[in-house]
Amino acid sequence: MGKIIVLIGAPGAGKGTQARLLEERRGIPQISTGDMFREMKNADTPLAREVQAIMAEGKLVSDELTFQVVKDRTSREEKSYVLDGFPRTAIQAEMLEILAAEQNKKIQAIEVDIPSAELVKRLTGRRSCATCGEIYNIYLKPPKKDNVCDFHPETQLTHRADDNKQIVVTRLATYQIQTEPLLSYYERTGRLKKVSGEGDLESIYWEINKLI
């Protein structure tokens, strides 16, 4: 028995940053559909090319494929885990109910809330380490040395292809239309908690930590 902790928030809200801290400090695995799709798109298969094209436009991968990936990845988790970026549609939320029942786990949703004005800076300034996945921001959380990871000085930081201004606008709209309605669904069913995604990483972490 364990919990499925669902982090919901706009692109750039800090889901990945906080999920990584929960994994590092509390040993609760971070399961990020975005990260899994980014790994997949490096493969040279028709499916991988399709995923790459969808992500490049800032749209959503199909519910069926996304659910398959989540189901496969979570099947080996006996204890609690964090879902970062899933569910993102009403259908995915329904699929998760079935999965949670099969895995005998309770769902707890946490909204990471942030005003959209802040998001463009967070996304266009984001850089990450291809070796360990550490997330930086050239404006808000710079690495110690320009463009290299603090833990892997041999690795140049990368900039996500979907983190340019034009695609960010589509990603935000996709979030507002498809994902935001899930907040009222979890609220109605008494499973939603909310934290502010503004402020320093540590205080946000402690807020989330208190809730789970």
Judged by the rule CB under 6 A, the positions of this chain that interact with ligand AP5 are 9, 11-17, 33-34, 37, 54-55, 58-61, 66, 85-86, 88, 92, 122-123, 125-126, 135-137, 140-141, 162, 171, 201, 204
Q: Which of 15, 20, 122, 127 is catalytic?
A: 15
CA pair distance 124, 164, nearest whole angstrom: 6
Three-state SS for 194? strand
DSSP-assigned beta bridge partners for residue 112: 195
Q: Can residue 14 be called a binding residue for Mg ion (CB under 5 A)?
A: no
Nearer CB in complex with ligand AP5: 33/80: 33
Residues in the chain: 212
User: Which of 16, 58, 87, 143 forms a contact with Mg ion (CB under 5 A)?
Assistant: 16
Nearer CB in complex with ligand AP5: 187/198: 198
We find the least distance from the C-beta atom of residue 61 to ligand AP5, in angstroms, to be: 4
Three-state SS for 4? strand
Choose from ligand AP5, Mg ion, none: what does 55 bind? Cβ within 5-8 Å by kind.
Answer: ligand AP5
DSSP-assigned beta bridge partners for residue 108: 5
Spatial contact of 164 and 124, defined as CB atoms under 8 Å apart: yes
We find the least distance from the C-beta atom of residue 17 to ligand AP5, in angstroms, to be: 3
Tell me what percent of the chain is helix, strand and coil, each rounded to the nearest 5: 45, 20, 35
Instruction: Report, as residue numbers or ranges, the catalytic residues.
Output: 15, 88, 126, 160, 171
